Chain A
Amino acid sequence: MHGFGLLSVLIWLPILAGLVVLLLGERSIRAGRWVALLASIATFAISILAYTGFDTSTASLQFVEKLSWIPTLNAFYGLGLDGISLPLVLLTTFMTIPVIIAGWTVIEQRPAQYYAAFLIMEGLMIGVFSATDALLFYFFWEAMLIPMFLIIGIWGGPRRVYATIKFFLYTFLGSVLMLAALIYMYVQTHDYSIAAFQALPLTLLQQRWIFLAFLLAFAVKVPMWPVHTWLPDAHVEAPTGGSVILAAIMLKMGGYGFLRFSLPITPDASRELVMLVITLSLIAVVYIGFVAMVQQDMKKLIAYSSIAHMGFVTLGTFGIYAVVAATGSLSGAVLGVDGAVVQMVSHGLISGALFLCVGVLYDRMHSREIASYGGVVNVMPYFAALMVFFGMANSGLPGTSGFVGEFMVILASFKASFWFAFLAALTLILGAAYTLWMIKRVIFGPVANSHVAQLTDLNGREFLVLGVLAAAVLLLGLYPAPLLNIMEVSVHHLVQQAVHSKLPL
C-alpha cells in the first residue's frame, strides 16, 4: 500500500480550490478569481514535477498510490502514470489556465460557480487519466459529466438546454455499456484493477462483446462518425471555456480509453474488427472534412474539424493491426500509436486555441457567423496574426504541432496500405481548405461592416493566453522529442500487449 502522493494532490487540489471558490460565493468573486488562477497555476507547477520526476526508461506505472477504497467490491483508490497518461495530464493542467484567464471579465453571470465547475472538472479529468482501478476510472469519467452538463446548460448559448441534455444522454448511454463490460470482467477477476483486466484471458466471443461495449463508450467521447452528432451542438452552445475543455481534453478521453482499455484488454477482437474502426476513422477524416467546409458558424466548423482530426487518433491507434499484418514488424505500429498520442496533445492545443480565438471575436461582436466578419486583419492585426497561425497549425503546416501527429499517422498507415494513407492524406487538402477558407473570409479582405470597423485588438490578457498557446504549438512542432521520449517505452509496451493474442494456441 502506498499513501497519498503527487497524483492525489493533482486531483484534489483543484477540486478543493473549486469548493473554496464556491464557498467564497459570488460576492467575493475578486478573491475567487485569484484563488482559481493560483490553484490552476499551482496544479500545473505540480504536474511539471511529475514530468521532471518521470523515469522514461520504464513502462511500468509511476507515482503509484494504492489505498483501500471499497473492500466489499475489492475496489482500490489506485493511481499511477505511464508515458501515455502523463502527456494528457500535462495537457489538462496546462489548458485549464487559459480557460480560467479567458473567463476573467467575460463571464458576468455567476462567475464563482463558473470557476468552481472548471476547477472541479480539472481534478476529475486528471483522475480519469491517472486511475489504475477501473471503478475509480469510471467514477471520475462519469462524475465529470455533471460540471460539463452545468457549464453548457448555464453559461451556454440560446439552444444550450437541448445541447447539454443531448450531450449528457449520449455520453451516459455510452458509459453504461462500458460499465457493463467492466462489471462483466470483474465478475471473473474479482478485482477492479485495470492490470487485472489486461491479464484476464478471454475467448474471442467475450472479447468481441467487450470490445463493442468499449467502442461505443469511447467512440461517443472521441467522437467517431456516426455517433458524433452531439459534438457540434455542444460546442456551438457551450461558452468559450467549455468548448476549449471539451475539445482539448474531454475528447482525448475517448482516445485514451482505446489505448488503455480496448487494445490491451481485447487485443484479438481489436484485430478482428480493425477494419470497422479504420473505416469509421477514414469516414471521419474525409466525409467530416467536407462537412466542415460548408459550415456557416465558426464554432461548428472547428467542431467538425475536431472530429476529423480525432479520426487520426483512432486511425493511428487501430492502424497498428493493419501495419503489423502488412509488415510483420512492430516499428510501424509504434509510429502509429506515437502519432495518435502526439495528435491528441497537438489537437488539444490547437483546437483549444482556435476556440479561444472565436471567443475573442464573439466577446466583441456576439456573433459566430462567418458571414458577420471580414477584414478583421485591418482592425485587429495582432489577433489576425495569431489566428492565422493557429489556422495554419490546424491544417497541418510543417513546423507546427499539427503536422507532427498527422504525418506520423500517415506514414504508419502507408505501411499498412497505400489507400489508407491516400485517404488520410486527403486531410492535408481538406483541412487546409476548410480552415484557410474560413480564415480568408473572417480575417482578410476589406472591412465588411461597421461593427468590424469598431473592433479593438487583443488586450494584454488575451494576447498572453494566445501567445503562450502559440509558443507551445510551435515548440511541439519544431522539437517534439521530449514528448516522444516520455512516450517511447510505454508505447512499445502497449503495442506488444496489443498484438499479443489472449487466445489459447
Chain B
Amino acid sequence: MTWASVAPAVGEIFLTFAICAVLLIDAFAGEKRRGLTPTLTLLALAATAALMVGVGQVGGHVVLFNGLYVADPLADVLKFAALLFVAVGLLYSRSYMSQRGTDRGEYYVLTLTALLGIFVLASANSLLTVYIGVELLALSVYAMVAFDRDNGIAAEAAMKYFVLGAIASGMLLYGMSIIYGITGSLGLDEVAMRLGATHGAGAILGLTFIVVAVAFKLGAVPFHMWLPDVYEGAPTNVTLFIATAPKIAYFSLALRLLTHGLIGTEHEWSLMLGVLAVLTLVLGNVVAIVQSNLKRMLAYSAISNVGFIILGFVTGTQAGYAAALFFTLAYVLVTLGTFGVILLMTKKGFEADRLDDYKGLYSRDPLLALVMMVLMFSTAGVPPFLGFWAKLWIIQQLWATGHIWLVIIALVVSVIGAFYYLRIVRLMYMDPPGASQPLPEWQPGVRLAVGVNGLVVLVLGVLPGWLLALCSRVLH
C-alpha cells in the first residue's frame, strides 16, 4: 500500500492523529491553559479541511481498503459540511460551556471522535464500516449528553439515549448479519450485486431490522421516543451538536445502506419509509404545537423535518436523493443558527429554553430577534429563505414520481408547522418583554457568526442555484 493509494482518506487519518494529540496535550496542559484545547481543536478542523483539499483528491471517485471505504464527491460534500458545522457549533458553544465550567478538554476530544465517526459513515462502503461509523459517533454522543455529570436531567437523557441507542445498534447488527448470511458478503457493492430484485423473505427480515435502526438514528416516528428527552435534557451545546452534524452522517447511513447496498429491496423499503414518513410528519408537527419548552419544540421540529428527508428517499430516484441531501444541508444550517441564537441568549443560571424567555426579544436585542425570525420563516418553508427550496424540491420530486398523497400530506403539515414557527416570531416581535429576563451577552465574534448564519440563509434563499446544482451533481 503506497501513500498515494490512501491519500483520499487523509481526512480520517489526520483526524485520528489529531484526536490523540489533543487528548495528550490537554492532559499535560493542565487547568491554567484552558484556551489551548479549543484552539487546537479548531486548528485541527482547519488542517483537516486543508489537507483534504490539498492531497485528498476532492471530486474523484475511488474505492479503498479492499472495498471498505469509498471516496466520492458525495462523501466530500458531506465531510466538508460536517467540518463547517462542527467548527461553527464549537464557536457558538464556547461561552456557554465556560460559564458552566464544562469546557473541559474531553468535550473537544469527544467532538473530534464523533466527527471521525461522521467521516467514516460518509465514506462507508461496507456493512462493517457502516457499523464502525455508527458506533463511533453514537458512543461519543452518549458521553457528550452526560458531560455535565452533576445534572440529573442530562444524566437521565444520556441513560435513555444509551439504552435505546444500544437496542438500535443491536437491530442494525442483527439486520446486517442476516444480509451477510444471505449474500455472503459485507461489501455494499457485492451485497447490491447479489441481492437482486428477486429475493426471499430472509432479505426482507434483514431489511426490516436495518430500516428500524436507520429510523431510530434519524428519529423517525415511532422510533423517535429518545429525541425530545435528549434534546431537552442535554446541555444546549450538546443539543446543538446532536441537531446538526450527526444528521448529515445519518443521511449518509440511509443513503449508503438503502439506496446502494440494499437497492434490490427498493420496493419494500420505499413502502416502509413511506409509512414512517407520514407518521413522522404528522406526529412531529402536531405535537410541536403544544410544547412550551423551546428545545423540546425544536426536537419535534427536527422529527418533522426528518419526515421530509425520508420523503426524499421514498421517491427512489437520484433526483429525490439529491433533494433529500439538499434538505439535510439546509435544515442543518438553519438549526445551527437557531441554537446559536439560543446559546447567545443564555447566561449562568438562565437557560433561555422556555418559549416565554423569547417574549419581546425584539426590544431587548433586535439583531438576535431578526436572525431568529429569518431562521423560523426558513424552517417554515417561506420564501425568500433557504428552507423554501428544500421543501419545494422534495415535493417536486414526489410529484414527479406520482406520490400524490404524500404531496398533499407534506403540504398540509407545512401549514400546520408554520403555526408554531410563527409563534416564536410573534413572541419576539409582538409580545411585551417579560420582567425577569437578563439581557443577552454581547459577544461580538459569536454575534457576527450568528448574523452571517442568518444572512447565508437569506442569500442562499434568493440564489439557491449553485447548491441545488451541487447536490444534484454529487448524486448523479
Contacts and interface: CB of A to CB of B under 8 A. Distances in A.
Instruction: Please indicate whether A and B come from the same complex rather than being unrelated chains.
Output: yes
Interface of A: 68-73, 138-139, 142-143, 145-146, 149-150, 153-154, 160-161, 164-165, 168-169, 172-173, 176-177, 179-180, 183-184, 186-187
Interface string B416-427: 001100100110
Contacts of A138: 383
B411 A70 contact: no
A494 to B, nearest CB: 27
Interface in B306-359: none
Contact of B414 (A69, A139, A176, A183): A176
Contact of A176 (B411, B419, B463, B472): B411
Nearest to A22: B370
Given A70-B465, A173-B415, A160 B430 contact: yes
Contact of A69 (B407, B408, B429, B465): B465
Contacts of B400: 187
Instruction: Say whether chain A's binding surface is mostly helix, strand, loop, or mixed.
Output: helix
A177 B429 CA distance: 29
Nearest to A186: B396
A150 B366 CA distance: 14
Given A71-B469, A138-B383, A164-B426, 14 more contacts: A69-B465, A70-B465, A73-B393, A143-B382, A146-B382, A149-B425, A153-B430, A161-B426, A165-B422, A169-B418, A172-B415, A183-B399, A186-B399, A187-B399
Interface residues of B, number: 31
Interface in B234-254: none
Given A70-B464, A161-B430, A172-B415, A180 B395 contact: yes
Instruction: Say whether chain B's binding surface is mostly helix, strand, loop, or mixed.
Output: helix
A449 B414 CA distance: 51
B415 A176 contact: yes
A142 B408 contact: no
A180 B388 contact: no
Contacts of A142: 382-383, 388
A150 B429 contact: yes
B468 interface: yes
A149 B429 CA distance: 11
Interface string B453-476: 000000000011100110010000
Nearest to A184: B399
Nearest to B427: A161
Given A70-B468, A180-B408, A180-B411, A153 B429 contact: yes
Contacts of B395: 179-180, 183
Interface in B378-405: 382-384, 388-389, 392-393, 395-396, 399-400
A165 B426 CA distance: 9
A139 B384 CA distance: 6
Nearest to B411: A176
A351 to B, nearest CB: 26
A187 B396 contact: yes
B411 A154 contact: no
Contacts of B226: none
Given A165-B422, A169-B419, A180-B411, A154 B429 contact: yes
Contacts of A73: 392-393, 396, 468
Contact of A177 (B382, B388, B411, B464): B411
Given A72-B469, A168-B418, A184-B399, A179 B411 contact: yes
Nearest to A150: B429
Contacts of B389: 70
Contacts of A161: 426, 430-431
